[in-house]
Every structure is written in structure tokens, then in C-alpha cells.
Homo-oligomer: A and B are copies of this chain.
């Protein structure tokens, strides 16, 4: 066997074990008995220890030195991924990696309980411990460089806080101006009202998943507190949630997660169990979930189709026609909760988190001061005072499980989705006619062929550039939002 083949055989087992760890995460969020949390923490720590030991295995260094990509792009890309993962893992002491796995597994349950009880103090010591461990990890990874960039690099290789700052700086004024114009508009769509039975919501969830090409033979839908997708290749599961007064939450959570899942299900199956066999970064992943959810799912054309399906299932929903329904689906309104935010406000929620978590990681903000810092910033950005921790800094699971450096990839995903949407429209001129029939085949097929099938072949930014034919920038997203909402709000 060549060094390359030996490395790939070793890597194949590592990928399989990583998938197992992911599957345990799904289990924990959907079906695990509540009393098992502590035990699961020990199990997660054990498999993370195995994974960590494999990632820093000194043979990898030898194989990497000896291996040759032979001019083959896929082989080169596989070596690039393994080198990146090996370098990062080798910098983190094994004890620290194990301790992070154990602590974050337990912390998640404590966060969920604290959020339920609306009690920040019950969560603060746990968050402080997770933050301490993650800062320690960041220092090990950064090797003298920026702590935050070191964490960001784990989710979006090649991206830096400075790049994001430039991009977010360009987004902010136009988003704020657009939101102010919208909130001051004379025409304001009405919100949805009424009770929507859970069983019908779940039926619609399945129907929407199928409409967007989700392959149930290689997946399933369950309910979770915080919807997510999980897995790769032939086992990609999604979750959604239901609320009696808000069927859009269920429908658009489903479509969003189908976007993530379609990426994983769409990757060239010859990449399975290689480093190319999963989505290349969180930002690119989010571009798929966002374009499915927003540019396609909330388009005038598709909401017209959805209006027909909802009235067929629920009868009179208190909305007279598709155009009114389009306004309701896309209604812009102030709100505390990121995951319930409209397309215009959403990125402002992210910008807030990006700045706060950078300060936490830099040591400029303490866990004790976090609620005040959050609430002050929120009032400045949104003009509303946060009324309780679960509407503020307790709302998201991310920090409890150690995901610092993750939030900005959501807005990056929106930016990438804007670029992909522009290219898709150019490629499929009659897109709206198809969406109006609930037919997404041309759109999802274009995304699969242009982007999804390639998995980890190219670096994140190059993945988007390859699909779009131009370098990504925030312009297309801003243009899309301004055009859509200027029209919708008759500005």
C-alpha cells in the first residue's frame, strides 16, 4: 500500500467513528431518556478521546510527508483536510479535548433546564466553565495568534474575524436602513392567527420535505426543541418543532433543515467516509439551508403554492389570497428570538452575537456581565428592552456546547445564499413558474450539480465561487433583500 492509501484506510475508520459520535448527538437531542445525561457525557468523552487520539496519531504526520496527490484534485483536497484537522488536533492536549467533550455534553442539559426556568444564574457557572475550557483550547490552537480566529477556523477554514468585520460592516447600514423603512411603512401585512393541529403540521412538514427533494429512504424527521440536521451520506436525519399558533415555524424549520440535509445527501457517494464526504464548512452549509428556506421557500411563487396546501389542509386560515399570504410569511417585525427572526432582522441578531462572543473569548467580557452587555446592545440595535433571560442570552444552545465562532457562519451563509440565488436565477429563467407549482426540481438540481455534489473538494469560498462563476460578496444578498421588501412593503 502507498502512504496515501494507508492514510486513507486509517482516515476511513476515523470518519466512521466521527459519524457515530454525530449519531449519538442526534440521539441525545431527540430520544435519549433525560436521566441518561451524565452517562452520555462519559460516553461522548470516550469516543471523543478515541477520535482525538486518531487525529493526532503520529503516523498521520509520516503519511502526510510521504503521500502524494498525484495531481488528482480529490486526492489533494483529502490531504488538505487531513493536514488541517491533524494540525488543529495536535495542538490541543488530549485531557483538554476529553474534558470539553464531557463538560459540554452535561452543560447542554443544564442550559436547557435554566432556559426553561428562565434562570441565568443557574447556568452561569456552567457557561463560565465551558468558556474557560474553550479559551484554553483557543490559546492552544492559536499558537500566539488570535484566539477567536482559531475557533472560527474550526467552522469556516480560511475565514478571519477581520474578513467578517469588513463584510458585516457593509451589511449593517443597509440592513438597518431597510428595516427602518419597513417598520415605518404605511402598508403592514397582518400576522397569522389561529390554532393549527400538530398532526397536520407534521403532515405538511413531510410534504414540504418531499417537495424540496429530501430522500426519506436515507433519512427521517423527528421533533426536537431546537431543530437541526445530522449525519452524512445514507443516513441524514432532520428535526423540526411544532407550536400551535405558529405553523410557519414547523414548515420553515423543516425546509431549512432539508437544505442542510440535501447538501449531505447530494454529495458524490464515492466521497463517503473520506474527508470530502461532508459539507465543507458551516457557512457553505448554511448557504444551502438559507436558500432553500428563504430565496426559494419564502418566494412569492412558492408561498403561492404553500397557500393552496395550507388552505387544503387547515381550511380557512383567515387569509384571503396568495398575495396577502406572501406578506404574512415575510412579515418583518421586532422580536427577541433569533430563530424566529425575519430575513431583514436575522443578520442583526448575528452581528450582536458575533461581537459579544469575540469579547468573551478575548477576555473583555465576563460571564457575569453577559446579560447586561446583551441587553444593552439589544436595546441599542433593536429598540426594545429584553424582558427575560430566555428572550436574551439564554435563548441559544450554542455557547453551552462550546460553539464559539459558529454564529457568524449563519450570516456568511446568508451572504453565500444571496450569491447562489443570483446565479441560479440566471441559470433557470422560468424558476418562478416551477416554484408556483411546488416544483423545486430545477432549483435543487442546479444546487446539487453546482455545489452539493462536490462536498469538500474545494475550500469554502472557492466552493461558492465555483458554483456562481464569480467571487462571493455581500452585494447580491443586499440587492435581493432591498428589492424583495421594497416591493412587498410598497416602499
With A16-B42, A39-B235, A42-B16 already in contact, the answer to whether A217 and B34 are too (CB < 8 A) is yes
Cβ proximity bits A1-25 to B, threshold 8 Å, 1 near / 0 not:
0000000000011001101100110
Q: Chain B residues with Cβ under 8 A from A36's Cβ?
A: 218, 233-235
Q: Are A217 and B35 in contact (CB under 8 A)?
A: yes
Q: Are B45 and A235 in contact (CB under 8 A)?
A: no
A50 CB contact (under 8 Å) in B50, B215, B222:
B50
Interface extent on A, as a size class?
Answer: 35 or more
Query: Which residue, A17, A31, A46, has most C-beta atoms of chain B within 10 A?
Result: A46
Q: Are A33 and B220 in contact (CB under 8 A)?
A: yes
Does A381 sit at the interface, judged by CB under 8 A? no
Does A272 sit at the interface, judged by CB under 8 A? yes
Sample of 10 more A-B contacts, CB < 8 Å, known A16-B45, A17-B43, A35-B234: A17-B46, A19-B39, A20-B47, A33-B216, A33-B219, A33-B234, A33-B237, A35-B217, A39-B234, A40-B235
Q: Chain B residues with Cβ under 8 A from A217's Cβ?
A: 33-35
Does A49 sit at the interface, judged by CB under 8 A? yes
Question: Shortest Cβ distance from A35 into chain B, in angstroms?
Answer: 4
Cβ proximity bits A57-101 to B, threshold 8 Å, 1 near / 0 not:
000000000000000000000000000000000000000000000
**Number of copies of this chain in the oligomer?**
2
Does A32 sit at the interface, judged by CB under 8 A? yes
Please name 22 pairs of A and B residues whose Cβ atoms are closer than 8 Å in the assembled complex, sorted by A. A16-B45, A16-B47, A17-B43, A17-B50, A19-B39, A19-B43, A20-B24, A20-B43, A20-B46, A23-B27, A27-B27, A31-B220, A31-B222, A33-B220, A33-B234, A34-B217, A35-B235, A36-B218, A36-B234, A38-B234, A39-B233, A39-B235
Question: Shortest Cβ distance from A25 into chain B, in angstroms?
Answer: 12
Q: Chain B residues with Cβ under 8 A from A31's Cβ?
A: 31, 220, 222
Does A273 sit at the interface, judged by CB under 8 A? yes
Q: Chain B residues with Cβ under 8 A from A19's Cβ?
A: 39, 43
A46 CB contact (under 8 Å) in B13, B40, B272:
B13
A33 CB contact (under 8 Å) in B38, B43, B235:
B235
Closest A-B pairs by Cβ, 3 of them: A16-B46, A36-B235, A35-B218
Question: Shortest Cβ distance from A261 into chain B, in angstroms?
Answer: 11
Query: Which residue, A220, A235, A272, has most C-beta atoms of chain B within 10 A?
Result: A235
A16 CB contact (under 8 Å) in B12, B38, B43, B272:
B43
Question: Shortest Cβ distance from A429 into chain B, in angstroms?
Answer: 34
Question: Shortest Cβ distance from A215 into chain B, in angstroms?
Answer: 7
Distance A273 CA – B273 CA, assembled complex (angstroms): 30
What is the chain B residue whose CB lies nearest that of A98? B13
Q: Chain B residues with Cβ under 8 A from A45's Cβ?
A: 16
Q: Chain B residues with Cβ under 8 A from A273's Cβ?
A: 42
Q: Chain B residues with Cβ under 8 A from A222's Cβ?
A: 31
Distance A12 CA – B219 CA, assembled complex (angstroms): 33
Question: Shortest Cβ distance from A411 into chain B, in angstroms?
Answer: 32
Question: Shortest Cβ distance from A26 into chain B, in angstroms?
Answer: 9
What is the chain B residue whose CB lies nearest that of A13? B46
Question: Shortest Cβ distance from A271 into chain B, in angstroms?
Answer: 13
Distance A97 CA – B59 CA, assembled complex (angstroms): 23
Q: Chain B residues with Cβ under 8 A from A220's Cβ?
A: 31, 33
Q: Chain B residues with Cβ under 8 A from A12's Cβ?
A: 42, 46
Distance A237 CA – B34 CA, assembled complex (angstroms): 12
A17 CB contact (under 8 Å) in B32, B47, B218, B233:
B47
Question: Shortest Cβ distance from A304 into chain B, in angstroms?
Answer: 32
Within A224-244, the residues touching B (CB, 8 Å) are 233-235, 237
Q: Chain B residues with Cβ under 8 A from A35's Cβ?
A: 215, 217-218, 234-235
Distance A273 CA – B16 CA, assembled complex (angstroms): 23
Q: Chain B residues with Cβ under 8 A from A272's Cβ?
A: 39
Cβ proximity bits A271-309 to B, threshold 8 Å, 1 near / 0 not:
011000000000000000000000000000000000000
Query: Which residue, A12, A33, A215, A217, has most C-beta atoms of chain B within 10 A?
Result: A33
What is the chain B residue whose CB lies nearest that of A273? B42
Cβ proximity bits A392-414 to B, threshold 8 Å, 1 near / 0 not:
00000000000000000000000
Q: Chain B residues with Cβ under 8 A from A16's Cβ?
A: 42-43, 45-47
Q: Chain B residues with Cβ under 8 A from A50's Cβ?
A: 13, 17, 50
